[in-house]
Structure 1
Amino acid sequence: MPTGVALRDVREQLFDAAERILRRDGPNALTSRAVTAEAGCAKGVLHRHFADFDAFLAELVRDRVARIISHGADLRERAGTGTVAGNLAAALSDLFGPVALAVVGLVTARDELRAALRRTSSAGVPVLTEATAMVAAYLAAERDLGRLAADADTDTLALMLIGGGHLLFAGRDGTPPAPDALHKVVSTALADATRFSSPVGGTDAGG
């Protein structure tokens, strides 16, 4: 039986291999044989550590979601600094990188994986669900600071921003959208919420 450290090393080796295949060849190329070959492991290694391939993929998604969300956790701490639109545009650009888009594509493509994730996770699409909650929390903090209108519906705004951001970034073969295009999407979504807000500390909500 491998030690805890060795187990983590094997898991990370397999996860990293799966991520490379996913980003390079897409979800249809992701098989247990392809993963072990990419990782340089014996064919049976994956099945010694995971009940089956769907269990492996579910753990891969959970691991990558946790990483993605941890990278964006400082968004909430930016409330009251810079501009609301600028903070959100930067966060969406970081969020919708190649790994996040690949994970969303994987979950969308595999029915069995979605079923496995639903048994232990909240409803919705991984990455998009967590990102929506993260953006909603940030918007609520900005509303409390007076940089968004007091009646701003932060939950709906978060859905609009994540949905619009995903559509803007998806299907671009790794080429991000122009910064102006991203900023326009964010500013348009925020227009009503910022129109009657009072800037705090001289910092504009838009921009």
Structure 2
Amino acid sequence: MPTGVHLRDARQQLFEAAESVLLRDGPNGLTSRAVTDEAGCAKGVLHRHFADFDAFLTDLVLDRAAQVERQADVLRGSVGTGTVAGNLTSALTTLFGPVPLAIIPLITFRDELRARLRHARPGGGIAILAEATTAISGYLADERERGRIAADADIDSLTLSLVGGGHLLFADRDPGPPATAAVSRLVTAVVADAVGRRPA
């Protein structure tokens, strides 16, 4: 492996390489050597940018959590448009895309990574799920204020059901993600009462 390979924006290229390894080989296959091999660079490149491999993984997870947060802004922007169930179906499909879904078991798999994430930010130990929870909860609260779901709807319980159910639905990536119709059935069942009892 040549040692003089220059990476433009090395951090992002290493992150993208890590995603590829994670999606292909799972958490067990994600090593510093696997990442640098995937990126086509010397192992020392990673250690020039990060103190150690767990520091690299921490920054990877936080970077991808920030992407989920940006996707959450799209959901919040849909308040008052379309249908509540339709917006949530689209959001779950995006929030539980292949990369976020692959990162969740990585966090579970590595104790040191969870510890560093908790130190880096509140709720950081489960960064991806925390961002998804915040996104769904905020959206539901906004729709309740708009009167599109019942004023007495239990936002916390609805959020837990949507995020937990969505995670379980998407967790089995073989042979692929669930069909949109399956996600829609889950969402519709969860929010049916809250949407059905809204003022006319």
**So what's the TM-score if we normalise by structure 1?**
0.89
Partner in structure 1 of residue 3 of structure 2: none
Partner in structure 1 of residue 152 of structure 2: 151
Give % identity. Answer: 60
Contact 1:107 1:125 (C-alpha < 8 Å) held by counterparts: yes
**3-state SS of paired residue (2:126):** coil
Structure 2: distance between partners of 1:122 and 1:159: 18
Amino acid at match of 2:139: Y
Greater shift in the superposed pair: 70-79 or 55-64: 70-79
Give the structure with the higher percent helix. 2
Structure 1 segments (4+ residues) deviating >6 Å: none
Partner in structure 2 of residue 130 of structure 1: 131
Greater shift in the superposed pair: 26-35 or 66-75: 66-75
Partner in structure 2 of residue 17 of structure 1: 17
Contact 1:142 1:148 (C-alpha < 8 Å) held by counterparts: yes
Contact 2:7 2:13 (C-alpha < 8 Å) held by counterparts: no
C-alpha distance 154-39 of structure 1, shift in aligned 2 (>3 A): same
Gaps of 5+ in 1: 1-5, 200-207
Contact 1:161 1:186 (C-alpha < 8 Å) held by counterparts: yes
User: Higher RCO, 1 or 2 (CA under 8 Å, sep at least 6)?
Assistant: 1
**3-state SS of paired residue (1:22):** helix
Partner in structure 1 of residue 168 of structure 2: 167
Greater shift in the superposed pair: 184-193 or 6-15: 6-15
Gaps of 5+ in 2: 1-5
Deviation per CA, 1:77-121: give whole Å up to 9, x if none: 111111000110011011111001111121111111111111112
**3-state SS of paired residue (1:187):** helix
Amino acid at match of 1:39: A
